[in-house]
Chain A
Amino acid sequence: MTDKEFTDRYTIHRMAEQEVVTAFNCGDEDLNGFILTDAPLYRKEKLAVTYTVFEKDNSDNVVAFFSLSNDRISISDFDNKTRYNRFSRRFNNHKRLKSYPAAKIGRLGVSESMKYMNIGSMLLRFIKLYFTVDNKTGCRFITVDAYAAAIPFYLRNGFVPLNDEDADEPTRLLYFDLNDLDED
């Protein structure tokens, strides 16, 4: 899909607190459950804001969505969690952590009827620049809690795994360094 085809047909909408999506099917029960049931709860508790993409002439036809949260990537001087916890208990004010601000894509789904039309990649490009060009605060990374089936899609779009601990889990944490977008 070209940029023009997208803008001719769709609106990107930030969901309000009480707003619900009544129909959406991306072929994954869990992702469907998020947008149909959980998104308003995350919004109400200020944990995540969900954005929908719907047809201009039929706002009930949601073709894609993504949810965003504040995040951070923290690195420790310690070799493992046990040593870090032991140290933290003894020295309350010494965190020995470095943290970098990030924005997290909690969920991103594209409806089955719109699969293979490049909408997911277009939305990722939008999100990356939304947090680079128009960001209100500092943000170095985009993180994503990616479903296993979607990992190749994120890798193609420049994301890399954070570590190997969740390699066999149903979702895996990946990140994109926004500095990669800097000009020389």
Chain B
Amino acid sequence: MARPIKETPILYGEDARRFEARMQERRRISAEERAKMKATYEALKSVCDFM
């Protein structure tokens, strides 16, 4: 048996505050990166046998 997949822990205290603050931050990938991601997604989706 491989190592079990670790459960995601509940965040407390400073970890929770840091996480929530980061959630509110506005980070955006560039239009170029978004286009690249979308192109890869559509290409890979076309060879999925389940979609």
Question: In B1-39, which residues have CB < 8 Å from any A CB?
Answer: 1-3, 5-6, 8-13, 15-16, 19-20, 22-23, 27-29, 34, 36-39
Chain B interface residue bracket vs A = 35 or more
- With a cutoff of 8 Å between Cβ atoms, the chain B residues found around residue A100 in the complex are 23
Contact B3 A126 (CB under 8 A): no
B21 to nearest A CB, angstroms? Answer: 11
In the assembly, what is the distance between CA of A50 and CA of B8, in Å? 19
Contact B10 A4 (CB under 8 A): no
Contact B29 A181 (CB under 8 A): yes
Among B2, B8, B9, point to the contact of A30 (Cβ < 8 A): B2
- With a cutoff of 8 Å between Cβ atoms, the chain B residues found around residue A171 in the complex are 3, 6
Q: Tell me the count of chain A residues lying within 8 A, CB to CB, of chain B.
A: 67
Residue of B nearest to A12 (CB): B48
B47 to nearest A CB, angstroms? Answer: 5
In the assembly, what is the distance between CA of A3 and CA of B44, in Å? 7
Contact B40 A125 (CB under 8 A): yes
Contact B50 A84 (CB under 8 A): no
Contact B13 A173 (CB under 8 A): no
Among A3, A97, A165, A180, point to the contact of B29 (Cβ < 8 A): A180
Question: In A111-144, which residues have CB < 8 Å from any B CB?
Answer: 122-123, 125-126, 128-130, 133-134, 143
Contact B11 A177 (CB under 8 A): no
Contact A13 B49 (CB under 8 A): yes
Residue of B nearest to A105 (CB): B5
Contact A97 B10 (CB under 8 A): yes
A129-B49 contact given A102-B8, A162-B11, CB 8 Å threshold: no
Contact A79 B12 (CB under 8 A): yes
Pull 25 A–B residue pairs with CB atoms less than 8 Å apart, ordered by A: A6-B43, A6-B44, A11-B48, A14-B50, A33-B2, A38-B1, A38-B2, A48-B5, A72-B8, A75-B12, A75-B16, A78-B12, A81-B12, A97-B10, A100-B23, A122-B40, A125-B37, A129-B37, A162-B9, A162-B11, A170-B3, A177-B22, A177-B23, A183-B34, A184-B28
